[in-house]
Amino acid sequence: MEANKIGIIGSGSWATAIAKIVTDNQQSINWWVRQASNIDYFKKRHHNPHYLRNTYFDVSSISFYSEIKEVIAHSDILLIAVPSIHIEASLVGVDAAMLKDKRIISAVKGVMPKHNVLLHEYLQVAFQFPLSQYFTLLGPSHAEEVAAEQLSYLTFSGTDLNATEVISKYFETEYINTRINNDVIGVQYAGVAKNIYALGAGIAHGLEYGDNFLSVFIANAANEMQALLISIMGKEKEHALNYDSSVYLGDLLVTCYSLHSRNRTFGNMIGKGYSVRAAELELNMVAEGYNASKCIVAINEKHKVALPIITAIYGILWEGHDPAAAFKAIEKILL
């Protein structure tokens, strides 16, 4: 494996789990942690002060920086793992020259809500960053299980499968199996949509629907997601990719069912009667599906795909629709 230095941008639970994977694979990393006090804590206690606190690191393999430009300057590969709503603010002060000849891996599972675009689209416009140097890292996986070294699967996507294979090798360990494909855009939209459906699964649980209903709900969500992806990607993709594979259906299933899923947890609070604001305060983490529901509805104005489940969840979260009434309506359209 060629010697490239990986820089990690972000210090939440998913960024922390990814840092564990890479360092367990005997790679040193540069790590952007915004607050210097958190860096001091990390160096002294060898674990993240706020996320995955039971995950310990050999800090001799980590160069910490509170200035993002330093991480960029000292890294060949940049892995971005911050919530989509914070990406633009995180990159303030960065210019196109700094990113020239870098490779970027997106571990973001959301649409940038201010612009209704995916990360690669934002990078192309703001930094003239080419899609050929852009890769994605998606599940199905939860940070908590990765940190506990429970067997997990990661899917890497890139326009060049050979380059994508090289990237994926940095993340292979005894507890991580990697897969690759070239559906860079489709996997990102799948990662966005599954968070919305997981919110819906959580709402259903909060409303005391059982497993029988939830299985039908998720099956219909899978069909709806596939219709959205085919519309966005074009009909020619319909038979070229396996939408039943782990990065599409698998990630949808684990996000809808797992108790580790923050989107499911957020939705459960909504179903139990919490306001959106109260649920945000209680969760104290970003549930990507909340903003994603608004973004996908806006993006779908162009594609005009029938998205009754996403539309219903959007109505609950953004238009104040009663969750119980909205799910009564959903009951009637499930196949």
Give me the residues paired with residue 136 across strands.
106, 157
For 81-85, what is the mean pLDDT? 94
Residue at 150 is within a domain:
yes
Write the pLDDT tens digit of every residue in 183-230: 999 999 999 999 999 999 999 999 999 999 999 999 999 999 999 999
Write the pLDDT tens digit of every residue in 232-250: 988 666 666 788 889 999 9
| Residue 234, phi then psi, degrees to nearest 5 | 105, 150
Position 289 scores a pLDDT of 95
Number of domains in the chain: 2
Position 236 scores a pLDDT of 64
Q: How confident is the model at residue 3 (pLDDT cuts 50, 70, 90)?
A: low
Tell me, yes or no, whether 98 and 199 share the same domain: no
Tell me, yes or no, whether 302 and 178 share the same domain: no
- Report the C-alpha gap between 1 and 24 in whole angstroms: 15
For 23-37, what is the mean pLDDT? 94
**Edge-to-edge strands, sheet with 134-138:** 62-65, 29-32, 6-9, 77-80, 103-106, 134-138, 152-157, 176-181
Among residues 147, 182, 217, which one ends one of the domains? Answer: 182
What is the average pLDDT score of the chain? 94
Residue at 1 is within a domain:
no
Tell me, yes or no, whether 161 and 291 share the same domain: no
Write the pLDDT tens digit of every residue in 97-137: 999 999 999 999 899 999 999 999 999 999 999 999 999 99
Tell me, yes or no, whether 149 and 192 share the same domain: no
Position 1 scores a pLDDT of 46
Between residues 285 and 176, the one the model is more confident about:
176
Position 238 scores a pLDDT of 66
The domain of 200 spans: 185-333
Among residues 165, 182, 199, which one ends one of the domains? Answer: 182
Q: Which of 36, 32, 46 is nearest to 93 (CA)?
A: 32
Q: The whole model's pTM is what?
A: 0.94
Tell me, yes or no, whether 174 and 279 share the same domain: no
Residue at 311 is within a domain:
yes
Q: Which CATH number goes with the domain that contains 217?
A: 1.10.1040.10
Tell me, yes or no, whether 161 and 18 share the same domain: yes
Tell me, yes or no, whether 34 and 175 share the same domain: yes
Angle at 24 between CA 85 and CA 164, to 5 degrees: 60
- Residue written as tokens 């001091």? 40
- Report the C-alpha gap between 106 and 92 in whole angstroms: 18
Tell me, yes or no, whether 174 and 189 share the same domain: no
Tell me, yes or no, whether 137 and 199 share the same domain: no
Q: Which CATH number goes with the domain that contains 96?
A: 3.40.50.720
Position 235 scores a pLDDT of 67
Among residues 152, 182, 212, which one ends one of the domains? Answer: 182
80 to 71, 123, 142, 318: CA distances (angstroms): 11, 12, 17, 28
Tell me, yes or no, whether 256 and 167 share the same domain: no
Tell me, yes or no, whether 219 and 178 share the same domain: no
Residue 2 has pLDDT above 60, yes or no: no
Residue at 258 is within a domain:
yes
Residue 271 has pLDDT above 60, yes or no: yes
Tell me, yes or no, whether 254 and 177 share the same domain: no
Token reading at 11: 């210090």
For 76-99, what is the mean pLDDT? 96
Beta strands 77-80; 62-65: pairing state: unpaired
For 134-153, what is the mean pLDDT? 95
